[in-house]
Chain A
Amino acid sequence: MARTRIQLLTAAAGIAAVFTATGCGAADMTKQSSPYANVGGAKSVTLSVQSWVGAQSNVAVAQYLLEHELGYRVDTVQVDEIPAWDALSQGRVDAILEDWGHPEQEQRYVKDKKLIVPGGGLGVTGHIGWWVPKYFADKHPDVLNWKNLNKYAKTFKTAESGGKGQLLDGSPSYVTNDKALVKNLKLNYQIVFSGSEAAQITQIKQFAKGKKPFLTYWYEPQWLFNQVPMVEVKLPKYTDECANEGTKDPESVDCAYPTTPLQKYLNADFAKQGGKASAFLKKFHWTKQSQNEVSELIASKGMSAQDAAKKWVEAHPDVWKKWMP
């Protein structure tokens, strides 16, 4: 039957076309760019954005400069940190601009597989800790030492903390030793995971509106400090020894969080063949103040990331001119 043969031929041609298009034979899992990339002949870069606003600011400024100064089209994707490493290794994103330290991923992708290369420091130093609002610390200065925290457990109690003090924690994607800390320092506190940074910020703002006391896991640089001034509670001093033990057994951690110089990472192919875009991203290097300036425009002044970046770029040509390849 002629019709059947034509159908069969069409099907065969279709399958052949698909295989030709996908590279015939083996598919390369390390080269899979986004389908939205490079549409219409534009050179494009895909950047990963993490859920916190600081990361959005890095990306916004990089995006603005790539688009307006270097003529690229920039796609952004929001992914959590560990999936972002994964995406970076496959070429689905080209760069991570703010990494808070993921030794396991570095070992696998940078050292072993060589699919990702370090892109240098971001210039911003990150620090995680426990914080209380300034209005509360001013009245009760002794809360700033962890040894006195149990005295305040009743003050920090909420409906969710089951009779203990509430330690507000953040998104499940963030690095945290808080469970071990509460246990090992024998604190009468219950950790309440807010599940996302947005929920945590909303809750902190809500507390601050009523000048209520609270204790929260938080980090800097963060724009929220400009709206809700907070003071850090001193935890037992951070030592390398304690950190090394913590890497072996996370439940043994009993000291403060380290201070981390934040890093950039690039997809290895992109780093080599990314031309001006990769050269620019390697040079991208700014300060905590600059980052917070952009972050606050985005998060509290309600500006779009692009407008905020534009404003900052126009005000600080001396800073970004140095990044140009």
Chain B
Amino acid sequence: MSATATRPATDPATDPAATGTAAAEPRPSLLSSAVRSPAARKLAALVVIAAVLIPLAHAKWASGSWPHALTVDVSGPLGDASDWILDNRDSHWIFLYFFGHISNVIIIGVRAVYVALLALGWAGVTAGLTLIAWRVAGVRIAVTTLVSFAICGLLGMWVPTMQTLALMVIAVTASVVIGGLLGLAGGLSEWAFRVLRPVLDTMQVLPAFAYLLPVVMIFGNGVPGAVLATVIYAAPPMARLTALGLRGADAGVLEAVTSLGATWRQRLLSARLPLARKELLLGINQTIMMALSMAVIASVIGGGGLGDRVYQALSSVDVGKALAAGLPIVLLAVVMDRTIGSAGERLGTPPAEGGHRLLRGWPAWAGVAVVTAVITVVGRLTGSQTWPTGWTVAIEEPVNQFKEWMVDHLYTGVPVVGGTADWAADYVKWILDPLREGLQGLPWYAVLLIVAALAWLIGTWATALTATAAMAAIGVLGVWEPSMDTLSQVLAAVFVTLVLGFAIGIWAARSTRLERMMRPVLDMFQTMPQFVYLIPVVALFGVGRAPAAAAAIVYALPAVIRITTQGIRNVDPAALESARSLGATQGQQLRQVQLPLARPALLLAVNQGVVLVLAVVVIGGLVGSGALGYDVLFGLAQGDLATGLVAGTAIVCLGLMLDRVTQPTSRRDRKGA
């Protein structure tokens, strides 16, 4: 609660609250006084405001739910807008001379990469990428690359993998360029930085499904829409990290460069950018990861490739086939993550001494090109350009059998613990239903007041204002009821995620072996497209809000576990040592030293849990969670801009509100890094 008060704001210039007076106050550093005075003062102020406003509001609109008089119906204008787009798309100049060209450039780009990949053939692509990985990241990662591409071929997914790769190359390039330029502006100009932050926040919180529809209307179904949707989602981390890198450049070095008489441009190119290259590389890496996670979502609007295979497999309820298409996505993510990560680690260190001169610098790159060309030709001589059809392994059957077995044995009647169907029913009956009824039953002004109080206690008055305004916007848009429903689902899923995540995280922090064993599993859950486990969760938990919660928990758990483990591991060893010497037991050490000291990390875990669970709300709509998630899907499927966009905006508002009430202002700067 008082985390803000105990730690000074990191950088007043980057803190949105710094514009207000609250942040300018000197903050007491003692925990006790922090709890006593500012919190009490804030609450007292709120009570006064509430005492004045609530009777007024109650007298005017005496209803529990958001009063109808305070809503704005946007379906008319949005409907007109979508009709206008459809009617003018093939005649108006803005499409003919602007959007149309963007579309065409994307199509030509993706096509060029795809044709090149097909021309290299399976042998050329595999050899080329393996050699590049070896050059920039070493032997181990080269082997990983080789094996991964072989698996993509063996699973019979060569062509879709190449389609996804072509789409990714263009989408990532565009994201890196756009994100990099935005980051450059943000890194060099204070004003641009301040304008950019809320924009980037919105881009990341906005559920992809909400902007798929406008993107589709303007750019049309298929690849251009898919690429643009991916760019919207994947460019923010690049922009954030570029800005972070540029702003963090060592002042001493810059001073030295300036004193040497360097021009502004020379300073940027020769000092600031090179100094920021680790952040830039990390930004590229994050962008690739986020772009890949969009691959499946983009398939909903006809992006093709692996995502489309996952999506098609699911419509025939074939988990095995979906997994066969999902695994290559995971493998692509792993290969790119490890390659770039390792390249980043090598950046700072001087090249290893010894080794032949020819293995370094441009001769090595020429070598890579020559060897790739030779292997391509050899591959062509053997015949097939795409993966040879005989060399495939069918994993569909065993996977489906395993799923059936699991469902048969776990659904009901497991002794003592009960089956998954019983869990689902209990979860709905004892957690979700009371929570939803409670939230929907609360008068709307009470909800606003609670939000304001929570946000103010953890942050500044500006935080509280943002959170309350976000909540009020939901009411104004006329989706109060479904939003409360969604909120109840998110809160319940976050609760379960945190309980499990903290428990497993603490356990993993104590056992290095467990942590090492869990690492690949966590990797897989984080990168596997969520669509793949939609069918198993329905088979286990039935249709409704319970399977949606299960999907959200599976998705959010890895991040919570990781942050918890890290946080507890990083607790100052001296503090722990002194506790041990005083004879504290394991439990006491945990409760009285590790957990309190790891509190910033735990709070971050809470925040990430909330953000990630919220990100799966729309996916939950696919398995019957109803409420906002379903509305977004409905808008997309029916081409109904009003329903989809309003529900999407409501999700953004919920996200904004939840972020503000869970994240102390002082730490918000690090997000996205």
Known contacts being A26-B100, A35-B114, is A53 close to B424, with CB within 8 Å?
Answer: no
Known contacts being A34-B222, A193-B624, A299-B316, is A29 close to B90, with CB within 8 Å?
Answer: yes
A40 pairs with B624, CB closer than 8 A: no
B111 pairs with A27, CB closer than 8 A: no
Nearest CB to that of A200 among chain B residues?
B543
A198 pairs with B314, CB closer than 8 A: yes
Q: Which of A93, A108, A192, A304 contacts B624 (CB 8 A)?
A: A192
Q: Which of B87, B105, B111, B301 contacts A18 (CB 8 A)?
A: B105
Nearest CB to that of A172 among chain B residues?
B634
B659 at the interface (CB under 8 A from A): no
Closest CB-CB distance, B169 to chain A, in whole Å?
12
B279 at the interface (CB under 8 A from A): no
Known contacts being A78-B315, A199-B624, is A27 close to B397, with CB within 8 Å?
Answer: no
A56 pairs with B222, CB closer than 8 A: no
Closest CB-CB distance, A305 to chain B, in whole Å?
8
List A contacts of B118 (CB < 8 A).
39-40
Give Cα distance in the complex from A197 to B543, angstroms: 11
B543 pairs with A51, CB closer than 8 A: no
A195 pairs with B101, CB closer than 8 A: no
Q: Which of B584-636 contact A (CB under 8 A)?
A: 620-626, 629-630, 633-634, 636
Known contacts being A27-B95, A78-B299, A160-B544, is A302 close to B318, with CB within 8 Å?
Answer: yes
List B contacts of A19 (CB < 8 A).
101
Q: Which of A29, A76, A93 has most chain B Cβ within 10 Å?
A: A29
B237 at the interface (CB under 8 A from A): no
Tally chain A residues at the interface, Cβ within 8 Å. Answer: 69
List B contacts of A76 (CB < 8 A).
308, 312
B281 at the interface (CB under 8 A from A): no
B220 pairs with A34, CB closer than 8 A: no
Closest CB-CB distance, B304 to chain A, in whole Å?
6
Nearest CB to that of B89 among chain A residues?
A29
B542 pairs with A158, CB closer than 8 A: yes
Known contacts being A78-B315, A199-B622, is A29 close to B220, with CB within 8 Å?
Answer: yes
Give Cα distance in the complex from A48 to B312, angstroms: 11
A22 pairs with B108, CB closer than 8 A: yes
A159 pairs with B101, CB closer than 8 A: no
List B contacts of A108 (CB < 8 A).
86-87
A210 pairs with B104, CB closer than 8 A: no
B637 at the interface (CB under 8 A from A): yes
A92 pairs with B302, CB closer than 8 A: yes
List A contacts of B623 (CB < 8 A).
194-196, 199
A173 at the interface (CB under 8 A from B): yes
Q: Secondary structure of the B side of the interface?
A: helix
Nearest CB to that of A55 among chain B residues?
B315
Known contacts being A22-B105, A203-B543, is A86 close to B626, with CB within 8 Å?
Answer: no
Give Cα distance in the complex from A40 to B119, angstroms: 9
Nearest CB to that of A33 among chain B residues?
B107
Q: Which of B302-352 contact A (CB under 8 A)?
A: 302, 304, 308, 311-312, 314-318, 320-321
Segment from B70-78, B171-179, B533-541 that makes contact with A: B533-541
Chain B interface category by residue count: 35 or more
A199 pairs with B220, CB closer than 8 A: no
B97 pairs with A202, CB closer than 8 A: no
A298 at the interface (CB under 8 A from B): yes
Q: Which of A22, A36, A39, A81 contacts B304 (CB 8 A)?
A: A36
Instruction: Write out, one digit per residue, whether chain A residues 15-47 have a CB within 8 A of any chain B CB (1) or not (0).
Output: 000110111011111101111100110000000
Give Cα distance in the complex from A168 to B542, angstroms: 11
Instruction: Write out, one digit per residue, whether chain A residues 302-317 have a CB within 8 A of any chain B CB (1) or not (0).
Output: 1010000000000000
Instruction: Write out, one digit per residue, whether chain B residues 518-536 have a CB within 8 A of any chain A CB (1) or not (0).
Output: 0000000000000000110
Q: Which of A135-151 contact B (CB under 8 A)?
A: none
Instruction: Write out, one digit per residue, whether chain B residues 212-255 have a CB within 8 A of any chain A CB (1) or not (0).
Output: 00001100111110000000000000000000000000000000
List A contacts of B552 (CB < 8 A).
none
Give Cα distance in the complex from A53 to B622, angstroms: 17
Instruction: Write out, one digit per residue, whether chain B residues 45-69 have a CB within 8 A of any chain A CB (1) or not (0).
Output: 0000000000000000000000000
Q: Which of B103, B535, B637 contacts A82 (CB 8 A)?
A: B637
A77 at the interface (CB under 8 A from B): yes
Supply 23 A–B pairs (Cβ within 8 Å), ascending by A: A22-B100, A30-B90, A34-B304, A40-B118, A53-B316, A77-B304, A78-B308, A78-B311, A80-B300, A83-B639, A93-B302, A172-B634, A172-B636, A194-B623, A195-B626, A198-B535, A199-B534, A199-B538, A199-B622, A202-B543, A206-B411, A206-B542, A302-B320
Given contacts A40-B115, A52-B315, A302-B320, 11 further A-B contacts (CB under 8 A): A27-B99, A77-B304, A77-B308, A87-B222, A90-B220, A92-B302, A159-B546, A168-B543, A196-B622, A202-B543, A206-B539
> B residues bordering A, Cβ < 8 Å?
86-87, 89-90, 95-97, 99-101, 103-105, 107-108, 110-111, 114-115, 118, 163, 166, 216-217, 220-224, 299-302, 304, 308, 311-312, 314-318, 320-321, 396-397, 400, 407, 411-412, 424-425, 428-429, 433, 534-535, 538-539, 542-547, 620-626, 629-630, 633-634, 636-639
